[in-house]
Chains A and B, each alone.
Chain A
Amino acid sequence: MKMKLIVPLALAAVFAVPVHAASSDELDMKAREMMKDSFKETGIAKKHRMLQLDFQEACSQAKLPPTAVMKQIEAEQMKTIKWPSDGKYYGDWKEGEKIAISGRGLTWRDKADAENGGGCYNCHQLSHNEISYGTIGPSLLEYGKLRGNSDEMVKYTWGKLWNAKAYNACSNMPRNGDAEILTEQQIKHLMAYLFDPESPVNKR
């Protein structure tokens, strides 16, 4: 008689154990595994793209990291900036416009040797003439005209184009130079597009 009672109770006890809710750390670990296991290599988009750089990980939350962490990231990223090898900051604004308009490159459908675009118009207003622009980034209309071309402004702009994270650790903007999205020459063309008085960014 007793046994009959005890067995079902013991079973009930086993089933009553609540499903263990994962802690935040455990979920972080599971998420990391998921971001590895749920993806495959296609074309030029290799699996290692799913591994995070330190700053990418620090910037992967709804909240920004603490100021001290941001400052440290910015200092690290600042070291990656390569200044123009020949000391010249400007290329051809007409070429710059093409680069600003093109959002192509680096997807798994693109070829390894294809020339990437800057995708600038995806997020920024730039020229007086181009009305199809995004709003994720600030408007850069009349960039040079409004800001002038002091050494400081020119260097800041070059640095920002090369690695935006040097100025804002968790910026939405890609590290065009540092991540080898654009070449030095392409960045020169973009510089001309932003600063040249004849560029439609500045000239109405």
Chain B
Amino acid sequence: MRNALKLVAVAVAAVVVAGTATAQSTADDIAKYREMIADGNPAELYEMQGEELWRTLRGPKKATLEKCDLGMGPGVVKGASARMPRYFKDTGMVQDLESRLLTCMETLQGIDPKLVIDGKFNSGERKTMDALVAYVVTHSKGDAIKVDMSNPKMKELYALGERAFYYRAGPMDFSCATCHGEDDKRIRLQDLPNLTTHKGAAAGWGSWPAYRVSNSQFWTMQHRLNDCFRQQRTAEPIYASEVTIALSVYMAAKANGGEVMTPGLKR
């Protein structure tokens, strides 16, 4: 199963890379690729791993995550990520999926969040996080994005997220809006969703986390945001820091009512 999936991924990655005659044909190739693997997005491997990890005794407390409360009650995964970020009474904070998982790992398993926050992508506990995220988001696929904006902290983070979105800084004077503030724009052949509109936000927020064909990696939303800032030439956003939550609230609120398509499949 694993090998078969990997082969398909490699073969079609080649098709996608070779077929860059025009923007349209690239989009077509990716659409074709999505069709081919409709029953087997390589993210499935991460999901299977994540499901296993969810039930594995880990950390100093040798506990599982089966009592982790993602906002729907202890252990409920179905529909949870469609409603995140959300305000959590127990921590008194608005949390996205990843920062909430950090809370569960710390309180239930005794795993130090610093292992993830100060870690490196694609290794160690961040790799564990990838799998857990893939597992959780798969269980909201097809649901409507349904973020509850009634809490004042959610409203404040939305306002801060909007400010972060337009914040120009660094040697290239870029902000998120430079690339994601207008309809029908591209970088090279890559289509850019306009995240200031419901349609664009639903397309962007609704399809991440995703499996990336070009580098055969599963990327969480924290990873996606991190790489946006890298290309903006800012300093590096701290994992699960306020700006990452604020931007997530901003995008999710704009996307409200759209469809959850996670795990997505990307170039």
Contacts and interface: CB of A to CB of B under 8 A. Distances in A.
Contact of A27 (B159, B170, B192, B231): B159
A179 B172 contact: yes
Given A34-B243, A107-B230, A108-B230, A52 B168 contact: yes
A125 to B, nearest CB: 10
A91 interface: no
Contacts of B237: 38-39
Given A38-B237, A132-B20, A31 B189 contact: no
Interface in B211-267: 229-231, 233-238, 241-244, 246
Nearest to B172: A174
B156 interface: yes
B3 interface: no
B169 A52 contact: yes
B246 A174 contact: no
Interface in A144-203: 165, 172, 174-175, 179-181
Given A122-B187, A132-B20, A31 B238 contact: no
Contacts of A109: 230
Contacts of B169: 35, 49-52, 56
Interface extent on B, as a size class?
Answer: 35 or more
Question: In the complex, which of the residues A40, A53, A107, A133 has the most CB atoms of chain B within 10 Å of its own CB atom?
Answer: A107
B173 A50 contact: no
Nearest to B189: A132
B2 interface: no
A136 interface: yes
Contacts of B235: 39-42, 45-47, 49-50, 108
Interface extent on A, as a size class?
Answer: 35 or more
DSSP class of A's interface residues: helix, strand, loop or mixed?
Answer: loop
A106 interface: yes
B188 A132 contact: yes
Interface in B151-176: 152, 155-156, 159-160, 163-164, 166-175
Nearest to A63: B166
A197 B155 CA distance: 56
B178 interface: yes
A165 B173 CA distance: 10
Contacts of B22: 131
A76 interface: no
Contact of A34 (B164, B171, B187, B196): B164
B114 interface: no
Given A40-B238, A46-B235, A35 B164 contact: yes
Contacts of A45: 233-236
B82 to A, nearest CB: 25
A141 interface: no
Given A39-B229, A40-B236, A134-B188, 6 more contacts: A22-B159, A31-B164, A34-B246, A172-B178, A180-B171, A181-B172
8 contacts: A31-B159, A38-B238, A45-B236, A106-B171, A107-B231, A108-B236, A134-B187, A136-B182
Interface of A: 19, 21-22, 27-28, 30-31, 34-35, 37-42, 45-47, 49-53, 56-57, 59-62, 106-109, 121-123, 131-136, 165, 172, 174-175, 179-181
